[in-house]
């Protein structure tokens, strides 16, 4: 059974950093294209970025609002995907989901506030 479990959310000040984790089970992360999606309070879904599978180069793409500040990486030994978020802004406040095909995690809340 495929499961995705996000963790690492919390309260951080503007300009700060946070690393989110997405622990995967039921499939091998390195063979998957993985995405991060976020949802600000009361707002719609917004794609954040993705990592290609190892066989497709393992490269990453990012949405314009986070490019240069967020980085997606993967630890194959832990079957875990990461989202490193730097230079956080108030508008980054959202629930962050990782997604693989039809499978989504439960999300983790990131609050950026002074």
Residues 6+ apart with CB under 8 A from 29: 74, 76, 79, 80, 81
Residues in touch with other proteins (CB under 8 A): 35, 37, 44-47, 50, 61, 63-64, 97, 102, 104-107
Q: Dihedrals φ, ψ of 105, to 5°?
A: -75, -175
Residue among 84 and 107 whose Cβ is closer to other proteins = 107
Closest approach of other proteins to the CB of residue 105, in Å = 7
Give the position of tokens 């508008």: 91
Closest approach of other proteins to the CB of residue 94, in Å = 13
């Amino acid at each position: 059974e495929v499961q995705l479990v996000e963790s690492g959310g919390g309260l951080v000040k503007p300009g700060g950093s946070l690393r989110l984790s997405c622990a995967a089970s039921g499939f091998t992360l390195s063979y998957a294209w993985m995405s991060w999606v976020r949802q600000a309070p009361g707002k719609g879904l917004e794609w954040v970025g993705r990592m290609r599978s190892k066989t497709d180069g393992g490269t990453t793409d990012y949405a314009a609002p986070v490019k240069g500040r967020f980085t997606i990486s993967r630890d194959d030994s832990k079957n875990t995907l990461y989202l490193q978020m730097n230079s956080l802004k108030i508008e980054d406040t959202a629930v962050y989901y990782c997604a693989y095909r039809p499978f989504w995690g439960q999300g983790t809340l990131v609050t950026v506030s002074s």
